Homo-oligomer: A and B are copies of this chain.
Amino acid sequence: MGKKRVKVGLVGAGTIGKGVVDLYKRNSVLINNKIDFEVTLEKVADRDQDRLQALGLEDKKLTTDAGDVLDDPEIDVVIELIGGIEPARGFIARALENGKYVVTANKDMMARHGLELIALARQKNLNLFYEASVGGGIPLIRPLKHNLVADRVSRVLGIVNGTTNYIFTHMAQDDLSLEEALSEAQRLGFAEADPTNDVEGLDAAYKLVIMANLVFGKKAEFDRVYIEGIRGVTYEDIAYAREIGYTIKLLAIGEDLPEGLALRVHPALVPLEHPLASVRNELNAVFIESEASRELMFYGPGAGPMPTAAAVWSDVVEAARCLHFNVANGVVEKELEETGFVPVEALEYRFYLRFLVEDRAGVFASLANAFADEGVSLDMIIQKRRVGDLAEVVLVTHEVKEEAFRRALGKITDISAIKPNPSIIRLLN
């Protein structure tokens, strides 16, 4: 009898770390009932004594020194949940050097240093698991890695930031401005006190890089992601979008083109009948377009202590399974290819454009000429509302290369009757 024990240590007892401990306390029997070995949480490290005490574990399991976990020869698997680049990266490298499997939920660090840490793990015949780094509780990394092994992914579209999705949902639903919806999100805990990473699109870009590495098998780079946050989207844009059959979402888009990877994060008009349009509030979803399966979507909670903890423990069980079978690196994937990158200017989009204009003869002709000169043709024109003395115009273009559209835009903004700072939002094509 006597099941083999796999000993787990945790570094970082913040909100997610506490969730990981709570889920263990609640479900360790359930987990161990499903498997033929036993996973036990042996030690938790955090610099903050109060956080440690709040976990409700025996004192002998608590330590303020991460080294007590990272260097303990008894620990088999280390969970890293401190977040940020350093010391997280150093801790993970140290755990791997010490022969331990590592599980992390750290998206910024994985986006910037994931490939080098995975390479270190390979070299040590170990593995690094990061299911919780994208999409929180949504089964995503493991299915992308294993289920799509025989398929060729052409595009990944993600609603991978809960804060901005919550903001857009409530701007639309409750007729709120972006600032009002953001305050509400902060009040309800769906946005942080400093929402920069979410609102500016950085969080979504981290997750895009991690997914692109996986689904395209090529080395995506964070610095090659075009990133545009949600600050430019107003309530009026959301209302016009709805009128023409779209909703606005912050999308992380990765595409494998002949010239290289095209990676970008920006708000986009999504057709109401697209499955991503039905992803509301703080929920996340990743939509995959592929050769064999054509369309797949993974939907669920993209954050939160309990969903994230469920993903972390599923990684721990996978690590434990490798250990149990003495299967060093249980994956044997090859190294990723180097790749070029396609800048956003070279991509084709349809554009939504909203601006105010002085209502006098000849203005529309100048506008139309500026577009025509750059080969930009219009699919939709709406002019029906006045704002003070000015007319509000909404245009939707046909598909056009972004650089041509930008040139046309430059000419248009030179027309004195057209007021500066138009709203410009790409359409999902």
* A33-59 interface (Cβ within 8 A of B): 33-37
Known A-B contacts A33-B334, A36-B332; the reply to A296 vs B150 at CB < 8 A is no
Q: How far is the CB of A301 from chain B (nearest CB, A)?
A: 6
Comparing A304-312, A344-352, A382-390, the segment that makes contact with chain B is A304-312
Residue among B35, B148, B313, B333 making CB contact with A333, cutoff 8 Å = B35
A135-143, A154-162, A222-230: which one contacts chain B?
A135-143
**A106-161: which residues lie under 8 A (CB-CB) from chain B?**
131, 137-139, 142-143, 146-152
Q: Is A260 an interface residue (CB 8 A)?
A: no
Given known A300-B295, A332-B324, contact A150–B35 (CB-CB < 8 A): no
The answer to whether the Cβ of A188 comes within 8 Å of any Cβ in the partner chain is no
How many residues from A make CB contacts under 8 Å with B?
Answer: 61
Given A138-B296, A295-B301, verify A151-B321 contact (CB < 8 Å).
no
Choice from B33, B37, B279, B292 contacting A137 with Cβ under 8 Å? B292
Q: Is the CB of B34 within 8 A of A309?
A: no
Q: Is the CB of B23 within 8 A of A150?
A: yes
Contact with B along A277-318 (1 / 0, CB 8 A): 111100101000011111111111100001101110110011
A217 interfacial contact with B, CB 8 Å: yes
User: Does A375 interact with chain B (Cβ within 8 Å)?
Assistant: no
Contact between A310 and B34, CB atoms less than 8 A apart? no
**Which single member of B35, B278, B293, B331 contacts A310 (CB below 8 Å)?**
B293
Query: What is the minimal beta-carbon distance from A168 to any residue of chain B, in angstroms?
Result: 16
Q: Assess the B292–A307 pair: CB atoms within 8 A.
A: yes
User: A31–B149 contact, CB under 8 A?
Assistant: yes
A150 pairs with B310, CB closer than 8 A:
yes
Q: How far is the CB of A220 from chain B (nearest CB, A)?
A: 16
The reply to whether the CB of A366 lies closer than 8 angstroms to some CB of chain B is: no
Residues A139 and B296 in contact, CB atoms below 8 Å apart: yes
CB distance from A28 to the nearest CB of B (A): 9
Contact residues of A with B, CB < 8 Å? 23, 27, 30-31, 33-37, 131, 137-139, 142-143, 146-152, 217, 273, 275, 277-280, 283, 285, 290-301, 306-307, 309-311, 313-314, 317-318, 321, 324-325, 327, 330-334
